[in-house]
């Protein structure tokens, strides 16, 4: 199934907006379900940072996924959407006290702890409530990922996680504190990763660390390998569903899970990326000295990925079938980086045409800002139009 657009219905809506094709989303979730069913003990937590649209969350929740949160606001959003608290994992290098208390009050599945000071605070806040909190330690595995420098997280130089050398120290500390339960290890090496070798490298690292722990008689229940599986931004129509088969099979073949252990994943982009498109209207076509510009009503405030990471989103003209011409597609914001793409060919484009920026379901709507006092973009689901 490829993505199609109900152009007449979209024409009637005020642009710019996000359009989510729920057939694609369901097809993606079916694929996750099929692949994880093969491996007992595998659990996927949707990384809600990718997209927290409440209607999308309801569909994701229907498939029984857990949820990965990085703030108190995300925990609240997840609970509102009906995710059970005992499927919430809570990560983040700088959790505030109120966020930790929210997690403790709701008895979430696990805190992914990133430092010794954080462990002490969780222990104190749990003690004050007469409770115990489950903790995993986020270990920095010093494994590189072949992706954009801004979204690689697992190198020793990154701010995330606890150094491998300190792993036993923090676990012993947790075991000595009364109000935290040591449950396991957490990792995340980066995002938009398409080479299975990167996940293989992480699996090997986990094996080494597990051997080290076992040699010391330390029992571990949970292994969480984070997220990061990428999507095809270049050919999204040909590849609407990511390669979940190879992804889970890589871990199954290489990561030596002990019989009593569960393996957890935190996938964001791979779940929602391809179902979403940013729909925008062409306000003007301008002939510059050296270029032809299609000036659209969406800007970097609606989709910041091209400006921030140099990311590439395929652009379709939904309303023209004229001969191809070359355009820079740019937004209306007063910033030179407010450019969606340069020197691309599109059917001859004119004022009023609708363009779709594809693969925008992840880190699109959620990263929108109101810079220039612009309204935040709305999200519509295909099944509600
Ligand atoms: N787990 C942790 C600890 C993370 O930091 C992230 C993403 C994920 C899971 C989910 O990763 P995913 O499966 O979506 O790759 N705004 C950037 C991406 C930032 C990713 C941050 N962490 C972008 O637009 O490309």
Interval 203-224: pLDDT, tens: 999 999 999 999 999 999 999 9
Spatial contact of 371 and 338, defined as CB atoms under 8 Å apart: no
The model's pTM is 0.96
- What average pLDDT does the chain have? 95
Average pLDDT for residues 5-20, to the nearest whole number?
97
Q: How many domains does the chain have?
A: 2
| Contacts of 125-131 spanning 24+ positions with Cβ under 8 A | 125/97, 125/100, 125/101, 126/179, 126/180, 127/178, 127/179, 129/101, 129/104, 129/105, 131/104, 131/107, 131/179
Is residue 231 pLDDT above 90, yes or no?
yes
In short, whether 267's Cβ falls inside 6 Å of ligand 1 is yes
In short, whether 151's Cβ falls inside 6 Å of ligand 1 is yes
Residues 317, 193 share a domain: no
**Ligand 1 pocket: which of 44, 45, 46, 47 to mutate (most atoms within 8 A of CB):** 47
CATH number at residue 229: 3.20.20.10
Radius of gyration of the chain (CA): 22
**Ligand 1 pocket: which of 141, 266, 275, 310 to mutate (most atoms within 8 A of CB):** 266
Spatial distance between the Cα atoms of 267 and 269, rounded to a whole number of angstroms: 6
Spatial contact of 20 and 230, defined as CB atoms under 8 Å apart: no
Residues 362, 264 share a domain: no
Residues 372, 346 share a domain: yes
CATH number at residue 359: 2.40.37.10
Residues 98, 247 share a domain: yes
| Domain containing residue 95 | 22-272
Find the 47 Cα to ligand 1 centroid distance in Å: 7
Spatial contact of 139 and 156, defined as CB atoms under 8 Å apart: no
- Atom index in ligand 1 nearest the CA of residue 138 equals 3
Find the 37 Cα to ligand 1 centroid distance in Å: 24
């Amino acid at each position: 199934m490829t993505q199609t657009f109900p152009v007449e219905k979209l024409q009637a809506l005020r642009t710019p907006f996000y359009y989510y094709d729920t057939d694609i989303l369901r097809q993606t979730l079916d694929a996750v379900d099929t692949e994880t069913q093969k491996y007992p003990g595998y659990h996927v937590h949707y990384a809600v940072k990718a997209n927290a649209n409440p209607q999308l969350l309801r569909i994701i929740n229907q498939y029984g996924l857990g949820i990965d949160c990085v703030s108190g606001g995300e925990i609240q959003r997840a609970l509102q959407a009906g995710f059970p608290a005992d499927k919430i994992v809570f990560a983040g290098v700088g959790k505030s006290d109120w966020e930790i208390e929210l997690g403790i009050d709701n008895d979430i599945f696990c805190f992914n702890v990133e430092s010794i000071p954080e462990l002490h605070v969780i222990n104190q806040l749990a003690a004050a409530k007469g409770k115990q909190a489950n903790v995993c330690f986020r270990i920095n595995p010093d494994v590189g990922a072949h992706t954009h420098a801004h979204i690689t997280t697992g190198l020793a130089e990154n701010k995330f996680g606890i150094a491998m050398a300190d792993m036993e120290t923090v676990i012993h500390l947790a075991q000595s504190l009364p109000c935290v339960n040591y449950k396991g290890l957490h990792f995340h090496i980066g995002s938009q990763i398409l080479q299975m070798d990167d996940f293989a490298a992480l699996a090997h690292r986990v094996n080494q660390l597990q051997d080290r722990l076992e040699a010391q008689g330390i029992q571990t229940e949970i292994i969480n390998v984070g997220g990061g599986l990428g999507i095809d931004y270049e050919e999204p129509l040909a590849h609407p569903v990511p390669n979940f088969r190879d992804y889970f099979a890589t871990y199954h073949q290489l990561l030596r899970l002990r019989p009593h252990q569960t393996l957890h994943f935190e996938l964001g982009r791979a779940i929602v990326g391809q179902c979403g498109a940013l729909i925008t209207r062409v306000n003007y076509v301008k002939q510059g000295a050296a270029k032809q510009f299609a000036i659209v009503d969406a800007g970097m405030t609606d989709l910041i990925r091209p400006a921030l990471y140099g990311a590439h989103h395929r652009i379709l003209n939904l309303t023209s079938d004229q001969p191809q011409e070359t355009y820079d597609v740019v937004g209306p914001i007063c910033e030179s980086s407010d450019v969606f793409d340069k020197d691309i060919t599109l059917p001859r484009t004119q004022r009023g045409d609708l363009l779709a920026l594809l693969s925008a379901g992840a880190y699109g709507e959620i990263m929108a800002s109101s810079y220039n006092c612009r309204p935040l973009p709305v999200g519509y689901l295909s099944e509600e139009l």
